[in-house]
Amino acid sequence: MKYVPLVEMLGSESFQRFTTLSRHYCLLIESKEPVVPEAFLKQMQQVLLDLYSAALKLEWIDLQTNVEPEVPKTNLPLILRVIEGKLAAYRYYWSVFDPVSMDDIEPSCGDLHDDLGDIYKELKYSLLVFDLQTADSQENAAWQFKNDFVSHWSDHCINALRALHFFIQKVEN
């Protein structure tokens, strides 16, 4: 695994783009402005495509400290209700847990609400840590952005994109 120095990562165009897109995603999720569910689906499709693409370009840094700083609390139950309202009936979909495993053929019910909520929780936490503006917090957040993507929310993102694709196709046809 190749590591880049933290200063190099923080100054990179790819990192700047990723944090900008992450903030945009969080703002779209947090917004309490009324939105037509079908328009929200299209917004999510575009921002998730952009976020996924930007996250692929993030580099690994060699994490020197492992601190979990205190960050302002978000009202997660409220945010999750906001997501639920924006999705309306466009929530559940079918998938298989591991689509490349020939042993995993049982369909499972996916939940777009859960996908969007988990992506939000991880991005928001790392943004709050990053915004503390200390060397340790920025190092931690930069590492967390990449790690969370690789280990967790990339799967949620791909599942959400697939579901969004079919929900949008159903609406438009």
Contact (CB, 8 A) for 61 and 6: yes
Full-model pTM: 0.94
Is 1 domain-assigned? no
Output the pLDDT for position 37.
97
Is 78 domain-assigned? Answer: yes
Domain tally for the chain?
1
pLDDT tens, residue by residue, 82-129 = 999 999 999 999 987 777 777 877 888 999 999 999 999 999 999 999
**Enclosing domain of residue 148:** 6-172
Q: What is the mean pLDDT of residues 33-61?
A: 97
Token pair of 156 as six digits? 């949620």
65 belongs to a structural domain? yes
Joined tokens for residue 144 = 């967390």
pLDDT at residue 109, as a whole number = 92
pLDDT of residue 105: 78
CATH of the domain at 106: 1.20.120.1550
